[in-house]
Amino acid sequence: MFSERRYDIVVIGAGLLGCFAARNLRRWKVSVALIEEREDVCTGISRANTAIIYSGYDHKPGTLKAKMTVQANARMDQLCRELDVPFSRCGSLMVSYGEKADAILKQKLHSGIQNGVPGLRLLSGPEAEQMEPALAHGVRSALYAPTAGTLNPWALGIAAFENACQNSADAFLKTTVLDISAVCGDYCVKTDRGNFLCRAVVNCAGLASDRVQKLLFPSPVSLSINAGDYLILDKTSRPMPRYILQYEPEEDDKGISVVPTVEGSLLVGPSERDGRPDYATDTEGLSFVRRQLRELLPDLRVDSVIRSFAAARPNPQRPDGSSIGSFVIEHPAHAFWSLIGIKTPGLTCADELGLYLAEKIAAELDADENTAFAPRRNGIPGVRGLEFAQRKELVQKNADYGEILCPCEEVTKAEVLEAIRRGACTVDAVKRRVGTGMGRCQGARCQQKIIAILSQELGIPESAVTKDGKGTEILYHGAS
């Protein structure tokens, strides 16, 4: 099966960064192919992270990272309106219980002011405890960042993906990039589903981004991968904090974050430990997270934990093993760009980074502006949280909006069908689009129904329905 396709630009990897690169490249008159190995987008780093939209006080003043974060944060309401993604600007409190942490907070306040983070305030212990009564007593000080917020990372990535496709970027899922070569001033991206000839390459391959660059150029930066563990607590947990809390412990350990998510659940983590990029959690890592959570929010009942998961962290290193703190944006040759191991705040800056690359490449290719670019995308309308009248209107238009498939998260059959129509072909892909199975029963009640619907809509037997791609069939196939 050999085929050759021609595009102006090939984007490798459909995580948050690849999806936003593709979206922003379509602001110019260029043809774009987005190539992704997996059967869905945002299944890598973009699926497992802390989900915080940072305010921008963490980064060294004057750096691109600092500038971009503050700018991206300011534009987040507009971006989320454009892409119809729920965003909660709940604010964050970085909490200290001792001298050492206190000093760190003061330093962050200082860099925050230099970076132009709006509204930053250093609170006294009593002030902080009054704002967030769930905190363990004895708070010494807290850094309040009113502009920090949270959103669902894969919801944002999927929205960018859909918007890129609406604007005629072509997506090639289940397609693995195997090699890249230079051919008469152009590039040839070789995949297991044929070759792509193009004028520019954008490498957003996440954990594999160093290796993808090395297919054609040397990479002065390599990634060493470590891991982190998270817990999710049910939305019925009490006391539920109002703010994003960031714990700055006195010990040398890194502190966890506690995030009241847009779905209503509580996300807690991560730990930091050695690990492989297999997204497997670790016993010690999980107990570290539980211990810090108990220290920070002693009244919160940890028996409301409904899920744990692990993240894989790409750590960019120089050949001598020293780590790199800033964004690594490689430009080894004309019209070849790599985002190598973009960690925090890559979610916050996804659209900014995409636009940054798109501008550079448009200039290199001398491309014209695409005046037909349509930045708006509509999400899948859901019934959760709707007023009665709105709900009734939806049900009158489409009877399936009355049929609740996932009682924990209140997701209807209409939403599931729409997710499948938009390309979801696994149980987890449906979950990422409409939230089925994310609640306290973790799919024990709805998974069977989703399997039946996927089988019917995709015209495949139930035994071929997978949880998250090939090899994850949910029903059993005998001794195959």
From candidates 147, 191, 222, 281, binder to other proteins by CB under 8 A: 281
Does 467 help bind other proteins (rule: CB under 8 A)? yes
Q: How far is the CB of 157 from other proteins (least distance, A)?
A: 20
Among 225, 262, 441, 458, binds other proteins (CB under 8 A): 441
Residues in the chain: 480
Q: Which of 53, 223, 305, 349 touches other proteins (CB under 8 A)?
A: 305
What residues from 401 to 430 belong to the interface with other proteins (CB under 8 A)?
402-404, 407, 410, 412-413
**Which three-class secondary structure state does DSSP give residue 300?**
coil
String marking each residue 195-224 x if it binds ligand FAD according to CB under 6 A: ---------xxxxx---x------------
DSSP per position, 132-170: -TTSPS---EEEEETT-EEE-HHHHHHHHHHHHHHTTPE
Return the residues of window 227-286 that contact ligand FAD according to CB under 6 A. Answer: 228, 270
Q: Which stretch binds ligand FAD (CB under 6 A): 22-30, 36-44, 248-256, 358-366?
A: 36-44
Residues 375-404 that bind other proteins (CB under 8 A): 383, 388, 391-392, 395, 399-400, 402-404
Count the residues of the shown chain that bind ligand FAD, applying the rule CB under 6 A: 40
Among 4, 252, 303, 320, binds other proteins (CB under 8 A): 303
SS3 85: coil
Q: How far is it, in rounded angstroms, from Cα 395 to Cα 403? A: 9
Q: How far apart are the first and last CA of the chain?
A: 27
3-state secondary structure of 330: strand
Bridge partners of 228, per DSSP, are 311
Question: Any bridge partners for residue 338, and if so which?
Answer: 203, 330
C-beta of 229: minimal distance to other proteins in Å?
8
What is the Rg, in whole angstroms, of the alpha carbon atoms belonging to the chain?
23
Residue 311's binding partner out of ligand FAD, other proteins, none, with CB under 5 to 8 Å set by partner kind: ligand FAD
CB of 167 or CB of 338, closer to ligand FAD? 338
Minimum CB distance to other proteins, residue 282 (Å): 5
CB 68 within 8 A of CB 460: no
**Residue 177 binding ligand FAD, by CB under 6 A:** yes
Assign 252 to helix, strand or coil: coil
> Binders of other proteins: how many residues, by CB under 8 A?
53
| Binding track over 320-359 against ligand FAD, x by CB under 6 A | ----------------------xxxxxxx-----------
241 binds, among ligand FAD, other proteins, none (CB under 5 to 8 A by kind): none
Q: For strand 194-203 and strand 336-339, is the pairing parallel, antiparallel, or unpaired?
A: parallel
Task: Report which secondary-structure segment, H or E, holds 421.
Answer: helix 413-421
Residues 325 and 341: their CA atoms lie apart, in Å, by 11
> Whole-angstrom Cα distance, residue 454 to residue 451?
5
Q: In 318-410, which ranges are E strands?
A: 329-333, 336-339, 404-406
Task: Give dist(CA 440, CA 53) in Å, integer.
Answer: 25
Alpha-carbon distance of 422 to 226, in angstroms, equals: 34
Choices 39-47, 154-162, 179-187, 283-291; region in contact with other proteins by CB under 8 A: 283-291
Pick from ligand FAD, other proteins, none: which does 290 bind, CB < 5 to 8 A by kind?
other proteins
Nearer to other proteins, 163 or 447 (CB): 447
Buried-exposed string 160-173: b where 16+ CB fall within 10 A, e elsewhere: bbbbbbbbebebbb
Q: Which is nearer to other proteins, 2 or 476 (CB)?
A: 476
Binding-site ranges for other proteins (CB under 8 A): 232, 236, 278-283, 285-287, 290, 303, 305-309, 383, 388, 391-392, 395, 399-400, 402-404, 407, 410, 412-413, 440-442, 444-445, 447-448, 462-463, 466-468, 470-476, 478-479
